[in-house]
Chain A
């Protein structure tokens, strides 16, 4: 069921699945502890529902950890930010699904937040998860292991990425329709999270400015790549499973240009992402997890 794009795996001796599985377990546990249920319970239940949903791949936090380790950073420094990424990401997805926005009754095969908790609670759950991300970074990052100035840059980066020129802009342009380029909407809606994840990891580890820019381009390409491949896979499975319950995203490459062109775009993105990583050759070993994400995005060789 995976798209037939050639595989040029660089990760011969690297077991991404194990790396990923171990990190997922750690991230899940930390997220679970970060949102304990207290009074008023319903809001915490709503927040937990979207952050702790089973089967989440945790790609943003894992990319953040991997980018931090690329520059020799301690993963303990990256964990709180990694968790924060999941919180702000969940917040924006909850709001994107609202009836007044994409009006999606389900997400990842489960009822969306407002379907279960009501529109008012869903709005508030999102409003609470954004600041919880920042709070979590401030209260959990081991300040003895990382200069405070780096944490400030991470906070600014997250705020920028979810804000009015980042993910909120993507969602707005997607809703508005009109003559916006598919590249722009896809980059804002899906590339921004990948970019943010890679950049935060690099910032925490003290990457140089040009290295951060490289991570920025890498993360953005990988974020869009995941979505393009998702759209391709979905389009392909439609033939067998003709329910048509999901609204067609006319702002996707597949929706606009068809599968062939979308596969070309995917191949270009894969090449672009890897080219950025090639610039890190002095860290060759440590870059392997980041390379393997690129191939995984296309091949989906295993499920986690």
Chain B
């Protein structure tokens, strides 16, 4: 067990996560309706509502509340971030990419709906994420919503998520991948969208530029933390425990933190990232920061 950082004694993280994940699930369910043509919307809903821990949307809402906003201001953005996350998983699992059959314990989207529909469902989720923010965000000025749209777009495109995936694909099978390149992959592939989630929440909640930038740094640390922990779990847990194919990094000959620095050093690195992340929250109201602190600890200590 990794060390537990200090948490507010009265903060019930488990209840918080359950309650928030439920509101997010309901909002997602309400957002993506079964419209014509049915099958493409079924495919979108299949992956979007497949469970998942909803870490990104909860981060988005928590950041919004930390800077003084209401949950409702960030909910469309929180859903949008989850739509983008889901879309990237659908495309990532395709045969021409990672070729995965299993995701969140269920057959992957293209296994159920076919590759063509999986590509389109991903594209449609991407588009709908932007439509949803633009149309459904209430109680926030147009100028802040536009800023949020710009941030989200940047975090998922060729300067963000996609850049990480490209370098990841290019690194497969190479023996000389260094820590720097590995960090580039994860900062873009994982951290960028977590950063997007947190920054969107902070912007929509009315945060000042200084607050937004502090939370951006916080998100970058926990984003990297997320991936370091993922790498560790991939070598230490079974497929059943993970709900996805374990050891696939080894099979695909992907470079990982445990491979580059060993398990122990990877665990130490994870702890350092968690501390650096939480340092960014020190200037905020400790009661309001409690969910983000607990989320960082959760990401550090999760077992699947």
Residues of chain A touching chain B, judged by Cβ–Cβ distance below 8 Å, are 39-40, 42-44, 47, 91-92, 95, 98, 100-101, 118-121, 123-124, 126-135, 138-139, 143, 147-149, 151-153, 155-156, 158-160, 162-165, 168-169, 171-173, 175-176
Interface assignment of B209: CB less than 8 Å from any CB of chain A: no
Interface assignment of B179: CB less than 8 Å from any CB of chain A: no
- A sample of 20 inter-chain contacts (CB < 8 A) reads A42-B166, A118-B96, A124-B165, A127-B122, A130-B126, A131-B157, A132-B158, A135-B157, A138-B146, A138-B150, A139-B150, A155-B130, A155-B146, A160-B127, A164-B35, A164-B124, A165-B35, A168-B124, A172-B37, A172-B39
| Besides the known contacts A127-B91, A128-B162, 4 further A-B residue pairs in the complex with CB atoms under 8 A apart | A130-B127, A134-B130, A135-B157, A172-B120
Are the CB atoms of B162 and A130 closer together than 8 Å? no
Are the CB atoms of B157 and A156 closer together than 8 Å? no
**CB of B167 to closest CB in A, whole Å:** 5
Are the CB atoms of A152 and B123 closer together than 8 Å? no
- Among B94, B127, B147, B152, the one with the most A-chain Cβ atoms within 10 Å of its Cβ is B127
Interface assignment of B134: CB less than 8 Å from any CB of chain A: yes
Interface assignment of B50: CB less than 8 Å from any CB of chain A: no
Complex: A57 Cα to B37 Cα, angstroms: 31
- With a cutoff of 8 Å between Cβ atoms, the chain B residues found around residue A165 in the complex are 35-36
| Total CB contacts across the A-B interface at under 8 A | 157
Are the CB atoms of A123 and B94 closer together than 8 Å? yes
Which of B40, B149, B153, B166 lies in contact with A172, CB distance below 8 A?
A: B40
Are the CB atoms of B37 and A169 closer together than 8 Å? yes
Are the CB atoms of A43 and B119 closer together than 8 Å? no
- Residues 2-45 (chain B) with a chain A CB within 8 angstroms: 35-37, 39-41, 44
Are the CB atoms of A134 and B158 closer together than 8 Å? no
- With a cutoff of 8 Å between Cβ atoms, the chain B residues found around residue A169 in the complex are 36-37, 40
- Residues 44-98 (chain B) with a chain A CB within 8 angstroms: 44, 87-88, 91, 94, 96-97
Are the CB atoms of A124 and B170 closer together than 8 Å? no
- With a cutoff of 8 Å between Cβ atoms, the chain B residues found around residue A127 in the complex are 87-88, 91, 122-123, 126, 156-157, 161-162
Are the CB atoms of B169 and A92 closer together than 8 Å? no
Residues of chain B touching chain A, judged by Cβ–Cβ distance below 8 Å, are 35-37, 39-41, 44, 87-88, 91, 94, 96-97, 114-117, 119-124, 126-131, 134-135, 141-143, 145-147, 149-150, 152-154, 156-158, 161-163, 165-167, 169-170
- With a cutoff of 8 Å between Cβ atoms, the chain A residues found around residue B121 in the complex are 164
Closest to B143 in A: A148
Complex: A284 Cα to B196 Cα, angstroms: 46
Are the CB atoms of A163 and B127 closer together than 8 Å? yes
A135-B154, A159-B128 known; A126+B123 contact, CB < 8 A: yes
Are the CB atoms of A44 and B158 closer together than 8 Å? yes
Complex: A129 Cα to B126 Cα, angstroms: 11
Are the CB atoms of B96 and A138 closer together than 8 Å? no
- With a cutoff of 8 Å between Cβ atoms, the chain B residues found around residue A129 in the complex are 157
Which of B127, B150, B157 lies in contact with A168, CB distance below 8 A?
A: B127
Are the CB atoms of A151 and B142 closer together than 8 Å? yes
Are the CB atoms of B128 and A163 closer together than 8 Å? yes
Are the CB atoms of A168 and B158 closer together than 8 Å? no
Are the CB atoms of A148 and B142 closer together than 8 Å? yes
Complex: A282 Cα to B91 Cα, angstroms: 49
- With a cutoff of 8 Å between Cβ atoms, the chain A residues found around residue B114 in the complex are 100
- With a cutoff of 8 Å between Cβ atoms, the chain B residues found around residue A134 in the complex are 130, 149-150, 152-153
A124-B166, A134-B153 known; A156+B146 contact, CB < 8 A: no
**CB of A91 to closest CB in B, whole Å:** 8
Which of A124, A130, A139, A153 lies in contact with B123, CB distance below 8 A?
A: A130
Are the CB atoms of A120 and B152 closer together than 8 Å? no
Are the CB atoms of B96 and A131 closer together than 8 Å? no
Are the CB atoms of B116 and A47 closer together than 8 Å? no
Are the CB atoms of A155 and B149 closer together than 8 Å? yes
Are the CB atoms of A121 and B128 closer together than 8 Å? no
Complex: A129 Cα to B87 Cα, angstroms: 15
Complex: A298 Cα to B302 Cα, angstroms: 62
Are the CB atoms of A123 and B97 closer together than 8 Å? yes
- With a cutoff of 8 Å between Cβ atoms, the chain B residues found around residue A160 in the complex are 127, 131
- With a cutoff of 8 Å between Cβ atoms, the chain A residues found around residue B161 in the complex are 127
Are the CB atoms of B153 and A138 closer together than 8 Å? yes
Are the CB atoms of A151 and B146 closer together than 8 Å? yes
Closest to B98 in A: A120
Which of B142, B156, B158 lies in contact with A152, CB distance below 8 A?
A: B142
**CB of A40 to closest CB in B, whole Å:** 5
A42-B166, A120-B97 known; A162+B150 contact, CB < 8 A: no
Complex: A168 Cα to B126 Cα, angstroms: 11
Are the CB atoms of A40 and B170 closer together than 8 Å? yes
Are the CB atoms of A172 and B117 closer together than 8 Å? yes
Which of A126, A159, A164, A172 lies in contact with B134, CB distance below 8 A?
A: A159
**CB of A8 to closest CB in B, whole Å:** 37
A127-B91, A160-B131, A169-B40 known; A43+B162 contact, CB < 8 A: yes
Are the CB atoms of B41 and A164 closer together than 8 Å? yes
Closest to A149 in B: B142
Closest to B128 in A: A163
Complex: A240 Cα to B58 Cα, angstroms: 62
- With a cutoff of 8 Å between Cβ atoms, the chain A residues found around residue B122 in the complex are 127
Complex: A118 Cα to B156 Cα, angstroms: 21
Are the CB atoms of B146 and A152 closer together than 8 Å? yes
Are the CB atoms of A156 and B150 closer together than 8 Å? no
A131-B157, A162-B127, A168-B124 known; A152+B96 contact, CB < 8 A: no
